[in-house]
Each structure stands twice: as structure tokens, then as C-alpha cells.
């Protein structure tokens, strides 16, 4: 493998996997909560929240990255507080890459989970309540088991998106080998240096494979939701 890929490329691949995993795991609870709010609740600000969640999908990634830098940079409103109170620095660190990837993947995550929430008939939840289940128990014993494949599908999709995130990451945390250089930013670097084309191409191939595998898995899981809610 080391002959096929130079060490810097392997480091970038490992970092990408780590960043994407953390981004997926950390955003999952928020994704479920926001998807539930959007699918099952009507409240003032519903449209605003929906727009906000989808914003990273539409904004140029460089804008999202810059906004993250303003908010979470060392002098940013939130970044300064995080640094002083929790000792957590995000800008130009791999933790920042996690945040950038999570924000960029969030719309895909929420979309997939929201669709599975909408596939669950609220009448089933009503029936569970008459059988003695509290709201929390209804969610844990009826809603969640029914949407679980959809949650996983969303997570897989978010993971793939995180693996491919470039614009927001490079703007917010730059492209520091070993710290913030992920697969896409590594490809970009190899393309800039003479003789790096072959390595770049190999990394491109890896990216395509990861993306295809994730899409396939996500589709399969989404179909499982559809079968599950019909009792098959």
C-alpha cells in the first residue's frame, strides 16, 4: 500500500476517516432532533429552521467556511468562549475540520431522517399511547425502531459527504498536512506539485469508491424503512 500511496496520502486518508466518523456520530443526535421537529411539529420559525438547516447545501462552501471562521475562530463569538471556558480550539485544528464536515453534511442527514419520520403513521403512535406508553416510550418502542434504517441511511450519506468536504474545510481550517489535510485537500495539494498527478488520481479513485459504497448502502437502508413500516 505504501508503494501505491505515499505516506502523506495515507495520513490524509486516515484523517478523513477520523474526521468523517466524528462528524457523523456527533451530528446524529442533533440530526434526529431537528428532523423530528421539522417532520412532526408546527411552530413559529419552522420555515426559518428548515431554511437554516438547508443553507449549507445552497451557499458556496467557501462562504460557509468563512462564516464558521467568524463564529468559531479564536476571536469569534463562540470560538473565544470555547477556547477560554472549555480549552477547545477549532480553527486550524482537525476538530475544526469535524465541525466543518458536520455542518456541510447536516442537510443530507436531516433530509433522510425526516423522510423516515414522515413514513411512520402517527396513528401507530396514538395507538401506542392508548396502550399505556408515555411519549418517551412511544418514541423508543415504536417510532425509533421503525425509522432506524432511515437514520442509518442518513448517517451513511452524511459520512460520505463529510469524506468529500473541501471548500468549507480549507477555508475554516486550511490545509495543514497531518492536522487538517483531508482526502480532498490532499488531492488538491498533489495536483499542485509536479509529479503528483498519479497519487492524486489514486486518491480520486478511493474517493469515488467510498462515495459509491456509501450511496449504495444508504439506498438499501432506505428501502428497508419502506418495508419495515409495511410490516414485511
Partner 1 sequence: MLRVSLRHRAPDLEVDFQAPGGITALFGPSGAGKTSVLRAVAGLLTPEQGRIEAGDLLFDHSARVNLPPSRRRIGYVFQEPRLFPHLSVAQNLRYGSRFAAPGTVPDAARLIELLGLGPLLARGIAGLSGGEAQRVAIGRAILSGARLLALDEPMAALDAPRRAEIMTYLEALRDETGLPMLLVSHALEEVIRLASTLVLMEGGRVRRAGPLADLLADPALVPAFGVREAGALLHVVVTGADPDGLTRVQAKAGPLFLPHPAAMGAALRLRVRAADVTLAVTRPEGLSALNILPATVTRLLPDAEGPGGTVLLDCAGAALMARVTGRSVAALGLAPGRPVWAVIKALSVAA
Site residues, partner 1 (CB under 8 A): 121, 123-124, 126-135, 137, 141-142, 145-146, 228-232
Q: How many CA atoms lie within 13 A of 172 on its CB side?
A: 36
Contacts of 95 (CB under 8 A, 6+ apart): 88, 89
Give the nearer residue to partner 1 in terms of CB position, either 145 or 216: 145
CB of 225 to partner 1, least distance (A): 11
DSSP character string of 138-204: HIIIIIHHHHHHHHHHHHHHHHHHHHH--HHHHHHH---TTTT--HHHHHHHHHHSTT-HHHHHHHH
Tell me which residue of 167, 163, 161 sits closest to 62, measured CA to CA. Answer: 167
Give the nearer residue to partner 1 in terms of CB position, either 74 or 135: 135
CB of 210 to partner 1, least distance (A): 31
**Secondary structure of residue 3 in the 3-state scheme:** coil
Asked whether 214 and 20 are in contact (CB, 8 A), the reply is no
Give the nearer residue to partner 1 in terms of CB position, either 142 or 168: 142
CB of 232 to partner 1, least distance (A): 5
Asked whether 154 and 76 are in contact (CB, 8 A), the reply is no
CB of 115 to partner 1, least distance (A): 17
Give the nearer residue to partner 1 in terms of CB position, either 217 or 226: 226
CB of 134 to partner 1, least distance (A): 5
Give the nearer residue to partner 1 in terms of CB position, either 121 or 197: 121
CB of 145 to partner 1, least distance (A): 5
Give the nearer residue to partner 1 in terms of CB position, either 156 or 225: 225
Question: What does DSSP assign to residue 73?
Answer: S
Amino acid at each position: 500500500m505504501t508503494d501505491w500511496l505515499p505516506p502523506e496520502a495515507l495520513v490524509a486518508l486516515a484523517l478523513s476517516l477520523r474526521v468523517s466518523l466524528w462528524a457523523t456520530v456527533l451530528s446524529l443526535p442533533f440530526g434526529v432532533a431537528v428532523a423530528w421537529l421539522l417532520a412532526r411539529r408546527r411552530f413559529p420559525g419552522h420555515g426559518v429552521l428548515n431554511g437554516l438547516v438547508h443553507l449549507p447545501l445552497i451557499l458556496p462552501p467557501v462562504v460557509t467556511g468563512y462564516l464558521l471562521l467568524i463564529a468559531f475562530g479564536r476571536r469569534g463569538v463562540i470560538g473565544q468562549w470555547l477556547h477560554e471556558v472549555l480549552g477547545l480550539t477549532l480553527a486550524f485544528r482537525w476538530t475544526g475540520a469535524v465541525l466543518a464536515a458536520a455542518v456541510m453534511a447536516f442537510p443530507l442527514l436531516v433530509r433522510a431522517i425526516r423522510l423516515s419520520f414522515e413514513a411512520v403513521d402517527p396513528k401507530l403512535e396514538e395507538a401506542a399511547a392508548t396502550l399505556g406508553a408515555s411519549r418517551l416510550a412511544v418514541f423508543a418502542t415504536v417510532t425509533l425502531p421503525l425509522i432506524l434504517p432511515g437514520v442509518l441511511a442518513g448517517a451513511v450519506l452524511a459520512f460520505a459527504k463529510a469524506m468529500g468536504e473541501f471548500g468549507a474545510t480549507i477555508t475554516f481550517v486550511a490545509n495543514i498536512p497531518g492536522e487538517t489535510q483531508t482526502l480532498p485537500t490532499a488531492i488538491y495539494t498533489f495536483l499542485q506539485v509536479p509529479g503528483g498527478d498519479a497519487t492524486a488520481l489514486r486518491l480520486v479513485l478511493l474517493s469515488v469508491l467510498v462515495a459509491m459504497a456509501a450511496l449504495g448502502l444508504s439506498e438499501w437502508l432506505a428501502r428497508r424503512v419502506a418495508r419495515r413500516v409495511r410490516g414485511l
